[in-house]
A and B are shown apart, each in its own frame.
Chain A
């Protein structure tokens, strides 16, 4: 069981907006640790999508955005495209475990 909780799956039609939540505790996100998001296409290594809660690495479209509040964070994807179909993971740090922690992952299906 993952320390950070994500919905197993979300879906949306092309052009729509979807959000993926990442819920933590007072030991991780709630303690002020940053949240990062990764996109993993089938059969490939993860790719950094959002870092430090809201920042996009160069080359990541502005259709992807991140936010954080309290013990949770969210990834929003607007203008859904077929190539967005992938698994998405949130990541933070847990001070009680002294460990980096990931969410269980969310599979995005573009209908």
Chain B
């Protein structure tokens, strides 16, 4: 069955960096677009970034542009989110999600369990 398992979260000081990983299994990872979606404590869902099936295209929400980078290693079936210059407002549970299609223009029918990132001094 499809599984998405996030890792790499934790507590980090403002201005520092963190890299999240999402290990995928149960499907052909290289055939699907992938997303990162976050949810601040007690708040709604916020889309963060998406990447095409082959890594050839990426898009970001304005608030993370220039600070976050989404990438993937199809040989390792793993999605990444490199987060630099972290701010308190980046504190959230981060979910990786699989798109229904190749380019990230479709809904996400599989989600990871979520990984908490806390930015605090």
Binding site for B on A (CB under 8 A): 2, 34, 36, 38, 40, 45-48, 51-52, 57, 87, 89, 91, 93, 97-105
Question: B108 and A101: CB pair below 8 A?
Answer: no
- Residue from B44, B45, B47, B109 within 8 A of A99 (CB atoms): B47
Q: Which residues of A contact B111 (CB under 8 A)?
A: 45-47
Contact A51 B45 (CB under 8 A): no
How many contacts A-B (CB < 8 Å)?
Answer: 54
Interface residue count for B (Cβ, 8 Å)?
23
Q: How far is the CB of B69 from chain A (nearest CB, A)?
A: 16
B51, chain A: closest CB distance, angstroms = 12
Residue in A2, A34, A87, A97 whose CB lies within 8 Å of B62: A97
Cβ–Cβ contact A102 & B108, under 8 A:
no
Query: Are A101's CB and B44's CB within 8 A?
Result: no
Q: In the assembled complex, how far is the CB of residue B107 from the closest CB belonging to chain A, in whole angstroms?
A: 4
Q: Are A51 and B107 in contact (CB under 8 A)?
A: yes
The residues of B with any CB-CB pair to A shorter than 8 Å are 35, 37, 44-47, 50, 59-62, 95, 100, 104-109, 111-114
A48/B107 contact (C-beta < 8 A), A97-B62, A100-B35, A100-B50 known: yes
B-chain residues with CB within 8 Å of residue A2 when the two chains form the complex = 44
Taking CB as reference atom, which chain B residue is nearest A38? Answer: B45
A45-B114, A46-B37 known, 17 other contacts, Cβ within 8 Å: A2-B44, A36-B107, A45-B95, A46-B95, A46-B108, A48-B108, A48-B109, A51-B100, A57-B109, A89-B45, A91-B45, A99-B59, A99-B61, A100-B47, A100-B50, A100-B59, A101-B47
